[in-house]
Structure formats: structure tokens, C-alpha cells
Amino acid sequence: MDDQSLVHLPATPSLALPDDLTPAQWVEEGRKLRDEGLQLQRLTDNWRFRVGDWLAFGERKFGEDTADRTVDEVVAGLQLAPETLRVLVWVAQRITPALRRPDVSWSVHRYIAPLPPADQEKWLEKAASENLSSHDIIRMRFPAAPGSEREHTKIQYMLLELGKNMGYEVWAPQSDRSGKFIGRRLRDIGLLDRLPKVFKNQQAQKIVERIDTLWVDRDSIVAAFEVEHTTTVYSGLLRMCDLLAVEPYLRVKLFVVAPEERRKFVISQINRPTFHELKMPDKCRLISFERLTEEIEQLGDRTVHMKDTFLSYISDGCRLPEGTTSMPEEE
């Protein structure tokens, strides 16, 4: 078959491939996409859709095992995390080319992908006419009152996916893994089945396994996150406090993730005498839900180039201002 018969649609978010494409020709198409991606300063929405279509075609035509082996070779230079590739093919499979909108970002398509086609069309039309961002779609499609389990799962999912995209192994407690966001369960991200034995102290090991989200590099924990979503923040802080009590020289970076509106309250709790004695204000930093969502949206595929030092950039210290001793009233 002549390569000229391959039909590319650069003006629309899709890639059409002839059904009689051979494995070798399919691989060559992937290499072209890889080379295009390497030349781009930032991966485009059009490119994401076409890669998703290419992956979906390979899985359908040649089987998942063959496609997986080929993908490792073809996309190696792009530094795309496996989870990113899985999301690309999932969105491409869920939203047909006929429904995709070139005037709506890929990220918006992603967050409406779980819906039936008729609803996808309505949301895409709304996004185009009202110029909605993916953050707008998350807020409108997944409304979650502060303090709800749904909000907790949403933020937990984002943290796990961010860590995975940055090249870390990720962990969530077994009790949280069935939680669902944008039609996918936390376990679908590809979590560790078992947490490495990072502490000799059994008590410390049990405590860390209950923390909301962990990023792991080989046998070391890089960062630990507690998502504040209840009327008080004590459960997450107590886990971190207990961990510091049994591992006082802990080098793991600790973060509390909470809504911006609760910043002062959370910091005041971290500075309670019980936590202050263990130097929690010095060892724990705060990330707001809003800042986390905004940064992830702006970074897009560039998260693969980030390191854990990125967390210091989007977080704030928890020490009270010098000379401040009073705390706001309990909520």
C-alpha cells in the first residue's frame, strides 16, 4: 500500500488510518508523530488526539500486547508517562472524531469523555460558545461542597496522576482506591500494589500506608499528602504527627492540601502546641486546591519535565508570622 494513501487531518483533532495498514506502516506513522512531538515547543491538542487515535488503532488492529511493545519504542524520546498515554487513548476511544471540536481544548474533551455522545456534544457546544476552560468544566461537572468525599477524591486523583506523570510510583490507601473521578477509579491510575518497606519501625510503616497520597521513588517516599476535606483537619495532621513521633528525623516532604478559603484555619491548627512540639510548622507545607488545579491545567504534558522541587513552588510554609500567638476561632 502506498504511504500516500494515509489520510491525515491536521486541521481537525483526529488521525484517520486505512484499515488495511500493516504493523510496519503503523509503526512508521507512530514515528512520524513522535518526531512531530519532539519538534513542538508544547504538545498541541491536535497532536494529543492524533496520538490517541494512533494508539487506539494499534490496540484494535494488532492487540494490546503488540501495541504496548511498539509504543515503548516509538514514544521513548517524548518522555510521556504511561498514564498520560493511557489517558490519550481513552479520550480518543470515548469521543469520536465527528464530535470533537477544534475550537475546544483537549483538556475539556477529557473531562466530558465519560458522558454519552449526546451529552458530550452538548457540553462541547457549551464550552465553545462560553469559552470554558477545563477548570470550568471540572467545577461545573463535578460540583463538590467543601468537606465532601467527592472533593477529596477529585484532589487525590489529581495528586496521584501528577506524581505518576512526573515519573514516580504512587500510592493511596486500599480504602480509597474505588473512589471515582471523571469516570475513572483511583486504582486505574496504576497504583503500587504494595508499599515498599520504607521504615524499620512497623508502627511508622502502618501509619504511612494510611496517608492519602504518596509519591515513591524506588524504596523511598518522596512526598506525602493529606487532603483536608472534613470539618476539622485533625485526622490527617494526627497521622503526620504520629509519623514524626516515631520517626523524628523523617526526611519525607509533608503537605496538607486544602481549599484556599481554609488556609488560615489549617495553618492555625498546624501551629497548635501538640504539633508545634514536633516541628510540624517547619516540616509541613500547604497547597491550596485552587493552586494545584491551576498549575496542573497550565502545565499540561509538561508535568513529565517537573521534579519534586516543583512542590515547593506551589506550596507555602505553615509557620505563623513572627510574634503571632493567637489563633482564629474554631470553625
Q: What tens digit of pLDDT does each residue of 292-309 get?
A: 888 877 776 666 667 777
Distance CA 211, CA 286 (A): 15
Q: What is the mean pLDDT of residues 1-9?
A: 42
State the pLDDT at residue 301: 62
State the pLDDT at residue 173: 92
Name the DSSP class of 42: S
Q: What is the mean pLDDT of residues 85-112?
A: 89
* Statement: residue 144 has pLDDT above 60: no
Name the DSSP class of 56: H
State the pLDDT at residue 327: 47
Distance CA 256, CA 141 (A): 25
State the pLDDT at residue 286: 94
* Statement: residue 163 has pLDDT above 80: yes
Give the pLDDT band of residue 147 (cuts 50, 70, 90). Answer: very low
Q: How far is CA 153 from the centre of its chain?
A: 12
Q: How confident is the prediction for the chain on average, in pLDDT?
A: 82
Grid coordinates given for 126: 457549551
State the pLDDT at residue 304: 60
Give the pLDDT band of residue 310 (cuts 50, 70, 90). Answer: confident
Distance CA 121, CA 68 (A): 31
State the pLDDT at residue 300: 66
Side chain identity at residue 3, one-letter code = D
Side chain identity at residue 49, one-letter code = F
Grid coordinates given for 63: 492487540
The answer to whether residues 326 and 288 touch, using CB atoms and an 8 Å cutoff, is no
* Statement: residue 204 has pLDDT above 70: yes
Give the pLDDT band of residue 215 (cuts 50, 70, 90). Answer: very high
Q: Which residues lie closer than 8 Å to 54 by C-beta, 6 or more apart?
A: 15, 17, 26, 29, 30, 33
Q: What is the mean pLDDT of residues 58-80?
A: 77
Give the H or E element holding residue 217.
strand 213-217
* Statement: residue 118 has pLDDT above 70: yes
Top pLDDT among 315 and 73 is at: 315
For residue range 45-58, list pLDDT tens digits in order: 899 999 999 999 99
Q: Which residues lie closer than 8 Å to 317 by C-beta, 6 or more apart?
A: 281, 282, 285, 286
* Statement: residue 316 has pLDDT above 80: yes
Distance CA 101, CA 108 (A): 10
Give the pLDDT band of residue 234 (cuts 50, 70, 90). Answer: low
Name the DSSP class of 184: E
State the pLDDT at residue 7: 43
Highest mean predicted confidence (pLDDT) among 88-97, 226-235, 314-323? 88-97
